[in-house]
Every structure is written in structure tokens, then in C-alpha cells.
Chain A
Amino acid sequence: MNSQIAPGETLLEVKNISLSFGGVKALQDISFDILKGEVRAIIGPNGAGKSSMLNVINGFYHPQQGEVWFDGKLRTQMKPHEVAKLGIARTFQNIALFKGMSTLDNLMTGRMIKMKTNLFWQALWKGPAEKEEQEHRERVEHIIEFLKIQSIRKTPVGRLPYGMQKRVELGRALAAESKLLLLDEPMAGMNLEEKEDMCRFVLDVNDEFGTTIALIEHDMGVVMDISDRVVVLDYGEKLADGTPDEVRKNQAVIDAYLGVSHES
């Protein structure tokens, strides 16, 4: 799974993606790329197709047309769990955690794809399986420390407040040590303080682990602050693509967000 891609080169590229559900065109001819090591934001009004795009990358949806290139290879139609094994992790807009499990177990489950021992050794819980558990446990503890969630290690996540659940979900995605991290509205529904924390974590993950991040976000301030490049979708079409400054000045984007005056 060693990648030959250097920072700054294309890690993921989507080409001419079109996706429709019956008559509804969710995505129309969308192309953009994500460079290794960058923070890439996908923005757009409600119903613009942002989450659909993430679901295409992640394998939940299969587009009718278009190609997805990852890590220098054209990806054939894949199921989400296969995509996860390629090295793409994600979080969800409406939190999908294992609610009955503790924070620790959630993160350990996040490392699933890194674990190699077979059922036989697991059943004995000896030899390779025992060693493996301990190794992975160490990595997970490191992430717990990084996200400052030591105090809730053993708490079933269903009992945690919303902001904390979001953080655990990020932790679980981090645990996979994937090449690309997809965050679907990581700050949705958070208060200012929680948002600031989350921003810092996203930037730190990007800095310290060198993880490439693609995120969907509604809070424009946040997007402009933390992302390197922004792609703007509206009604399933691509409106603009560029640095935050370029996007901010783009007339089409301004129209989509503020509405167009039809008088002139």
C-alpha cells in the first residue's frame, strides 16, 4: 500500500462524474482533483450535490458516468469497504458511530483494515493476535491523546454529547491512517468553541500526520480559513474551483450564495 505519490501531486481525481437518481440529476459532469497533502473544501448551497460527491468517492454511490482515479490508478466500481481498504476514511454529516461501544473500541474498530491476523489466532487470543492487539492499542492511545479524549476512553459513545461524538468519529477515521480523509460537515451543529477545536484538529491532522483532507462545510469563515483550495458546487454542477480568495471573488459563486438581481 506504499504510495509513490509525492506531496503536491494529484492523489485523487474525479473526471466527468455524472450521477442521477431517476430523473434527479445529483451530479453533472463534475471534474476536480485533490492534491496530496492539501486541505480541499467542497462547498455549495443545500442540495448542491456535495454529499453525493463524497459518497461517490467513498463508494456508497456509483456514478453512471465518469472515472475516479486514486493513487495514480483508475478505480473500478468498488464497494465502500473495499474503498476503505484502499486508504480512504470518512466521517458523516449525521454521525455514524458504533453507539454501544466505548470510545476506545470505536477507534480500535477504525483500525480494522490494519489488522491482519485470521480467525484461528483470534479465537486462541495468543501469538500474533495478542501482539497485534497491543500494537494497535498503542496507536489508538496516541490518537486519543492527540484529540484530548482520554477522559471518555471507556464511555459508550451513545452517551456522549454531540460535539464529543463528532470528535470520536474523527478519531475513528484517523485510526485507519488512511491517505485521504473525507469529512462531511465536521463542524455542523457545533458552538463556536467546539468549532475552533475542530478546526485546530483538522489543521493538526494535516500538519502532523500529513493526511490529505477533503471536507464539506457550510461555515464560510471556517472554509476560507483552513482550506488550501475550494471547489464550489450548485445544483449538481461545478461553479468554481480555486483558492479561497479566487472563489470569494467569483461572480457565479456570489450569485449562487447571495441570489442574483434580475433588474439589470
Chain B
Amino acid sequence: MSPEFLYTIEVILNGLMAGIMYSLVALGFVLIFKASGIFNYAQGVMALFAALTLVGFQSGQIPFSHLINVMFGTEYHHWGEGMNNFLAIVLTILVMIAFAWLVEKLVLKHLVNQAPIILFMATIGLAFFMEGFGDLMWGANIKTLDVGIPSGGSFWWEDVTRTWATEGSEYYGMYIDVLDVWATGIAVALVIVLMLFSQFTKTGRALRAVADDHQAALTVGISLRTIWVIVWSIAGIVALVAGIMWGSKSGVQFSLSLIALKALPVLILGGFTSIPGAIIGGLIIGVGEKLFEFWVGPLIGGATENWFAYVLALFFLMFRPQGLFGEKIIERV
């Protein structure tokens, strides 16, 4: 195989794995949008908050320590050694569930039957609040997150691919980050579990029922508010997974909440109501922007990854506004 061909494959593979990361964030959006028609702007911040909380538990940080120290002139920062990964993850999941419950109690409950734009505004407020709250609770410094997922390039894969290249060509093998492979595996497992849950359990059925028709769901005895808590909890757990992946890759920092913006073109491609759409939309964006950078980037000075996804989304809005998999918008006259 020629080195150029192998390079292209490498770019595509890396694009697929970057795409999975986008998909993970988009997935959280779709879950909440389907169940309640709310576009949850705070999804990215939820991923950040989950990652911050996880690091905090791991390293044994005391929540609000800066605030406490300033107010009382004390010098508390940590308690003991912190805890192991498993316990920290379980506790973080509990925190995300508590968060979902609070959002329902304090925000959604009071905005039932309001126009979608109002709920959207509420989630923007929520996003800003959580960003500040996360800062206050765990501090604004960049933290490293390590939950024991291996990372770094795979030498084995480099060796294997080197033998594929044409004899005598200067090809040093493909670079694939093991972390990305793990992230892909975990994302796939997560989606499969979610699918099975929604297809084969009573609560899953209730979730789909609420997504289909609120009124009908109420009359068969489904409490919308319970379902909203469950959906936001699941979205919180998805956010945690996304937060762990992004955090392990590039550190837990506040720019993490901006990955939510990359999920937007993914959703426009995949459709706001489709879980497979979120996955495939993410993959298309991931591969698309990497290939574009690889082929067209050098011609126009590079840095195309920043805008390519949005331009692609713009084209989709013009020709297929409901996305690849979204429900077709039909107005009956």
C-alpha cells in the first residue's frame, strides 16, 4: 500500500474516534430533547461539572474550600488521600442524579407548559450557573484526570501498519491513541446499554412513551416529572462519560464546556430526535473535518477544523433541515 493511502486511512480512523467524542455529547442532548422537547444548552457544562466532581472526589478535595478559607481564614484544601476510581465514579453518578432531581424541582417544575424558547433560556441560565458553581466548588485550575484508562500511541499498531507500506517507502506506521480506542469501545457499550434499556424495560418504555405523546403518557399513569428526573439523570451519566473521555484527553478545564458547541452541528446533521442520528452525525463531522483539514487545509492555510463542522451544518440546514434521521417536519393543511 502506498504511504499516501495509509495516511488517508489514519486520518479517517482518527476522525472516527474524534467523532465518537462529539457523539457522546450529542447523545445527552438528544435524550433530553426527545423526552421533554428541551434543547439543553447546559449539556456541555454538565460534562465539565461531572468531570470536576470526579477529579475532586479522586483527589480528596474539599468542596468550596476556597470559599471557606476566604470566609473563615482557614487553610483547608484536602482531606486525606482521596478515594479509588470506582468509588469516586459511583459518588459522581449520585451527584449527577441529585443534580437532575434539583433541576426538576427548582427549574422545570415551574416552567411546565411554557414555550420551548423559555425552557431553552432557562438551560442557558443553568449553564452559566453551573459553570460558576463548579468553579466555586472545585476551583478554576486545570486538573488532570486519570481513571486508569491507558493512553498514548499504540506501538503495536505502528509496527503492524509499517509492514503494510510498500517496500522501501519511508512510512513509520499509523499513530492511534489507545485512549481514543477505549473511548470508542465505552461509547459503543453505553449506546447498546441505553438501547436495550429503552427497548426492554418498563421504564424504558415509559421514556419512549413520554417522547411520543405527553398527554397519552399521563393517561396511562406515567408521571412526567419522574420521567424528567430519570432522563436528566441519564443525560448526567452520559455527560460524566463524555467528561471522563474529554478530561483524560485534554485535562479538565473550563473550555470543556465549549465542546457542547461542536455537538450542535452534529445534531443538525443527525436530527435532534434520533439517537443513531447523534452517533452517525458525530462520525460524519469527525471524519469530515479531519479529511477536509488533510486535503483542503494545506491549500488555504489550515485551521479548518474550527469552522468546517459549522459550514457543513449550514449546508444541511439549507437542504435537509430535519437532519439525516430526524422526523420529517410535515405541516398538515
What CA separation (Å) do A221 and B157 show in the bound complex? 78
Residues 179-218 of B contacting A (Cβ, < 8 Å): 196-197, 200-206, 208-209, 211-213, 215-218
Given the known inter-chain contacts A122-B203, A123-B197, please indicate yes or no for A112 contacting B221, CB distance below 8 A: yes
Contacts of A19 in B (CB 8 A): none
> Does B224 sit within 8 A of A, measured CB to CB?
yes
Contact with B along A199-238 (1 / 0, CB 8 A): 0000000000000000000000000000000000000000
A interface size (C-beta, 8 A): 34
Contacts of B215 in A (CB 8 A): 60, 92, 96
Label chain B's interface by main secondary structure. helix
Residues 115-151 of B contacting A (Cβ, < 8 Å): none
What CA separation (Å) do A89 and B208 show in the bound complex? 19
Residues 84-141 of B contacting A (Cβ, < 8 Å): none
> Does A75 sit within 8 A of B, measured CB to CB?
no
State which of A58, A90, A98, A133 has its C-beta within 8 Å of the C-beta of B209: A98
Indicate if the CB atoms of A115 and B197 lie closer than 8 Å. no
Contacts of B213 in A (CB 8 A): 96-99
What CA separation (Å) do A99 and B209 show in the bound complex? 9
Q: How close is A132's CB to chain B, nearest CB, in angstroms?
A: 8
Q: Report which residue of B205, B206, B208 has the largest number of chain A beta carbons within 10 angstroms of its beta carbon.
A: B205
- Which A-chain residue is minimally distant from B202 (CB atoms)? A115
> Does B222 sit within 8 A of A, measured CB to CB?
yes
Indicate if the CB atoms of A89 and B203 lie closer than 8 Å. no
> Does A100 sit within 8 A of B, measured CB to CB?
yes
Given the known inter-chain contacts A97-B216, A98-B216, A113-B220, please indicate yes or no for A122 contacting B209, CB distance below 8 A: no
Given the known inter-chain contacts A98-B208, A108-B205, A109-B206, please indicate yes or no for A125 contacting B200, CB distance below 8 A: yes
Indicate if the CB atoms of B219 and A109 lie closer than 8 Å. no
Indicate if the CB atoms of A89 and B219 lie closer than 8 Å. yes
Interface residues on B, range: 20 to 34
- Which B-chain residue is minimally distant from A58 (CB atoms)? B219
Indicate if the CB atoms of A96 and B208 lie closer than 8 Å. no
Q: Report which residue of B197, B202, B211, B221 has the largest number of chain A beta carbons within 10 angstroms of its beta carbon.
A: B221
What CA separation (Å) do A81 and B212 show in the bound complex? 16
What CA separation (Å) do A97 and B217 show in the bound complex? 9
Indicate if the CB atoms of B201 and A84 lie closer than 8 Å. no
What CA separation (Å) do A176 and B217 show in the bound complex? 13
Contacts of A81 in B (CB 8 A): 217-219, 221-224
> Does A117 sit within 8 A of B, measured CB to CB?
yes
State which of A79, A109, A129 has its C-beta within 8 Å of the C-beta of B205: A109
Contact with B along A126-170 (1 / 0, CB 8 A): 000100110000000000000000000000000000000000000
> Does A66 sit within 8 A of B, measured CB to CB?
no
Indicate if the CB atoms of A98 and B221 lie closer than 8 Å. no
State which of B196, B200, B211, B220 has its C-beta within 8 Å of the C-beta of A112: B220
Given the known inter-chain contacts A92-B215, A96-B215, A125-B201, please indicate yes or no for A112 contacting B222, CB distance below 8 A: yes
What CA separation (Å) do A112 and B218 show in the bound complex? 11
Q: Report which residue of B206, B208, B211, B219 has the largest number of chain A beta carbons within 10 angstroms of its beta carbon.
A: B219
> Does A186 sit within 8 A of B, measured CB to CB?
no
- Which B-chain residue is minimally distant from A98 (CB atoms)? B212
State which of A92, A123, A132 has its C-beta within 8 Å of the C-beta of B216: A92
What CA separation (Å) do A163 and B242 show in the bound complex? 46
What CA separation (Å) do A81 and B95 show in the bound complex? 28
What CA separation (Å) do A110 and B213 show in the bound complex? 13
Indicate if the CB atoms of A112 and B219 lie closer than 8 Å. no
State which of A84, A100, A123 has its C-beta within 8 Å of the C-beta of B218: A84
- Which B-chain residue is minimally distant from A90 (CB atoms)? B219
Contacts of B219 in A (CB 8 A): 58, 80-81, 84, 89-90, 92, 96, 173
Contacts of B202 in A (CB 8 A): 112, 115, 117, 122, 129, 132-133
Indicate if the CB atoms of B205 and A176 lie closer than 8 Å. no
Indicate if the CB atoms of B220 and A176 lie closer than 8 Å. yes
Given the known inter-chain contacts A105-B205, A122-B202, A122-B203, please indicate yes or no for A84 contacting B212, CB distance below 8 A: no
State which of A84, A108, A117, A122 has its C-beta within 8 Å of the C-beta of B221: A84
Residues 91-122 of A contacting B (Cβ, < 8 Å): 92, 96-101, 105, 108-110, 112-113, 115, 117, 119, 122
Contacts of A100 in B (CB 8 A): 208, 211-212
Q: How close is A126's CB to chain B, nearest CB, in angstroms?
A: 11
Contacts of A84 in B (CB 8 A): 218-221
Contacts of A90 in B (CB 8 A): 219
- Which A-chain residue is minimally distant from B215 (CB atoms)? A96
Q: How close is A81's CB to chain B, nearest CB, in angstroms?
A: 5
Contact with A along B12-34 (1 / 0, CB 8 A): 00000000000000000000000
18 pairs, CB–CB < 8 Å, chain A vs chain B: A58-B219, A80-B218, A84-B220, A89-B220, A96-B215, A98-B208, A100-B211, A109-B206, A109-B208, A112-B206, A112-B222, A113-B220, A113-B221, A117-B202, A122-B197, A122-B201, A125-B196, A172-B216
A99-B212, A105-B208, A173-B219 given. 6 additional CB < 8 A pairs?
Answer: A58-B219, A81-B219, A84-B219, A92-B219, A101-B209, A125-B196
Give A residues with C-beta under 8 Å from B.
58, 60, 79-81, 84-85, 89-90, 92, 96-101, 105, 108-110, 112-113, 115, 117, 119, 122-123, 125, 129, 132-133, 172-173, 176
